[in-house]
Structure 1
Amino acid sequence: MLSGFTLVRNAVSLDYPIVPAIRSILAVCDEVVVNVGRSEDGTRDLVAAIGDPRVRILDREWDFSRGSEALARETDRAMAACRGAWGLYIQADEVLHESGAALLAEKVREWDGDARVEGLLVDYLHFYGDFDTVATDRHWYRREVRVVRLGREVRSYQDAQGFRVGPGLRRVRARATGARMFHYGWARAAGSARRKREASRAIFRGAALRPEPAISERLAWTPLLRCFTGTHPQAARDWIAARQGAPVVLGPRYFRLHHLRYYLSDWLERLTGARLFEHRNYVEV
């Protein structure tokens, strides 16, 4: 049995593609557990309206007294409610391509008997500003664990980007699959991007106690933005079509000395396939 799990809060006001996200993994999951934090914008109704009996909602009051660790704790609660032997995790601003969903299901079956494998990796496309531009510098992670073997002391880590194992927080033993995850968290018009940054600031520990500069309507320019020429996941196409043409305001291009390391790293990665000093929550087996 393959379970899916995710968590979401205020998806309507923050314009998260939670319905496409859930639908993209329902294609291969026997159930999808959705931890819905108390929201003020109808998020629970939006999830319930999917109308699939495989979707199970956990109604939760998220405690942000310890900042972004709340995301890991609530992810663990969703994972603990799964009934399968493997769990497919997706975040509220991610959508799994249908080719990748089929590939992950195939690899779960293939590697289920190999006890060394605790997780499966997906490759990321990080959209930035719009749905035709991807951010590619080393600041953006290339791969992350999105399928885990359940019941092995695997737990969500820090702000829930990845997973670790046991009380010692060992890195997950994982294998690459070639499945593609589309990350739309920064494919936003200016106003939506500002609301997301405001929400992110609010959950980080101590943020409310520190003086902060005003949040700009603009998305800051970042090095190594590239055009995307492929196809988006089928589950996301209606959601994308409804947002095409929304005004996006990128900040002006600029150069800082530390940008040199991004360009150098990109050149070496294209030459060798390796990304130097890459942060990983996993080790490949």
Structure 2
Amino acid sequence: MKVSGYTFIKNGTLLGYPFIESIQSLLPLCDELIVVVGKSEDDTLERVKNIPSDKIKIIETHWNEKMQDRGFVYAQQKMIAQYACTGDWAFYLEGDEILHQQDIETIRASMQKHLKNPEVEALVFDYKHFYGSPDWLAISPGWYRRAPRIIRNTIRSWAPDGLYFVIMDKNKHGRYPKAALANASIYHYGHVRNIAAMREKNQRVGHYWGHNHPLFDGYQIDAQALKPFTESHPEIICTWLRTEAEQSYHQNPNYQATRREIKHRYAMKLENLFGWELSKKHYKLVKETN
């Protein structure tokens, strides 16, 4: 079994991404790791080059700054990396996502288990979305709770906005991949970077989605959408959490929930009452064999 990892990054230092930690957390699983680095205004490329691993293959790119439709430039960069993968599986990890060292062997075993089963086209991870600070998890169905991050590298797939995969059985029609559980988590730290870095990120990337973000002045969210995080963070991210993450987040007692957040409150009540899971799913689980 050969495993390819892949990711893309641009201005990773300037925008406060823990991209080095992300790459390092993925390396133990990979036979090769494709890193697409967009032309940056900081030391992103140098930092990737300085990672001591001969598994890393760097592709330098120039982003299409005129592409401002629903994040499609992210999809372009993701697919440049995926098309360079040569493994049986291709493992996509974003620059603010980290694997826990305790899950490495479980993930490897899941890939090995499903390697010969063509019905399993992808592996799905549970998500831990941190919000405001490393001490809080976002739990409402407004945050996807599971997502495929490993795709079989022998099927026709693409990423329409960089966030998920579409399988092309036919030329004109796509579908979400058939997937099994990886039985592991991905730790997502994109919403705990310090306020200055988050402000810079919002101002610089909004135009790729066809709009400009308002000036970011702090993390604001419905308190009912959060719960305390009481487990351990991956070892590789702990220094970054101490030095780069926001530490002063406090829930605003005067915060008024938006209409969308109120809708999610009702959804969570239904989930608790009926045992449903109402977050968005970009995959279809298949019945697993022993």
> TM (normalized to structure 2)?
0.90
Aligned-partner Cα distance in 2 for 1:224–1:44: 37
1:163 is aligned, of 149, 152, 165, to: 165
1:112: Cα distance to partner? 0.7
**Mapped partners of 2:36, 2:213: distance in 1:** 32
Please tell me whether the aligned partners of residues 18 and 93 of structure 1 are also in contact (alpha carbons under 8 angstroms).
Answer: yes
2:131 paired residue number: 128
Q: 1:39 is paired with a residue of what secondary structure? A: coil
Once residues 181 and 256 of structure 1 are traced to their aligned partners in structure 2, the CA distance between those partners, rounded to angstroms, is 28
Stretch of structure 1 that moved more, 169-178 or 89-98 = 169-178
Give me the CA root mean square deviation. 1.9
Q: SS of the counterpart of 1:51?
A: coil
Query: Structure 2: 5+ residue runs without aligned partners?
Result: none
Letter in 2 for 1:30: D
Report if aligned partners of 1:99, 1:179 keep a CA contact under 8 Å in 2.
no
> For 1:21 and 1:147, how far apart are their aligned partners in 2?
15
In structure 2, the CA distance between the partners of 1:44 and 1:256, relative to structure 1 (3 Å rule), is closer
- Residues 115 and 247 from structure 1, CA distance in 2 versus in 1: closer, same or farther, beyond 3 angstroms? same
3-state secondary structure, aligned to 2:110 = helix
- Matched residue, 2:29: 28
Whether the aligned pair in 2 keeps the contact of 1:189 and 1:247 (CA below 8 Å) is no
Give me the whole-angstrom Cα distance separating, in 1, the residues matched to 2:120 and 2:245: 40
What is the CA-CA distance between 1:240 and the residue it aligns to? 1.4
Change (3 A) 1:213 1:263: closer
Cα deviation, 1:34-84, whole Å, max 9, x if unaligned, reads 000000111001111112110111001111322210111111110111111
Aligned pair in 2 of structure 1 residues 256, 201: CA closer, same or farther (>3 Å)? closer
Which aligned pairs between 1:66-145 and structure 2 lie closer than 5 A? 66-67=67-68, 68-145=71-148
Question: Runs in 1 of length 4+ with deviation above 6 angstroms?
Answer: none
> Could you tell me whether the CA contact under 8 Å between 1:122 and 1:180 is conserved in 2?
yes
Structure 1 contact 128–188 (Cα < 8 Å) conserved: no
Offset, 1:3: 0.6
Aligned 1:1-285 pairs, distance under 5 A: 1-67=2-68, 68-158=71-161, 160-166=162-168, 167=171, 168-205=173-210, 207=211, 214-222=214-222, 223-243=224-244, 246-248=247-249, 252-256=254-258, 258-276=260-278, 278-285=279-286
Identical positions, percent? 27
User: Partners of 1:129 and 1:171 in 2: how far apart?
Assistant: 31
Change (3 A) 1:213 1:36: closer
Q: CA deviation at 1:256?
A: 4.4
How far 1:214 sits from its partner (Å)? 4.0
CA–CA distance in structure 1, aligned partners of residues 3 and 36 of structure 2: 17
- What is the CA–CA distance in structure 2 between the aligned matches of 1:86 and 1:169, rounded to whole Å? 20
Offset at 1:236? Answer: 1.1
- 1-structure distance, mates of 2:75, 2:260: 31
- Output one character per residue of 1:110-135: Cα deviation in whole Å (capped at 9) or x when no partner: 01111100000001011111100111
Larger mean CA deviation between 162-171 and 24-33 belongs to: 162-171
Distance across 1 between alignment mates of 2:140 and 2:262? 11
Change (3 A) 1:260 1:72: same
Q: How many residues align?
A: 278
The letter of the residue matching 1:260 is I
CA change 1:63–1:244 in 2 (3 A) is: closer
Code of the residue aligned with 2:216 in structure 1: it is: S
Shift of 1:271: 4.1
SS of residue paired to 1:218: coil
Moved more, 255-264 or 58-67: 255-264
- Note closer, same or farther for the CA distance 1:43–1:214 as it changes in structure 2 (3 Å cut): same
Cα 1:215–1:31, aligned 2, differ >3 Å: closer, same or farther? same
Helix, strand or coil: the match of 2:188? strand
Q: TM-score, normalised by structure 1?
A: 0.91
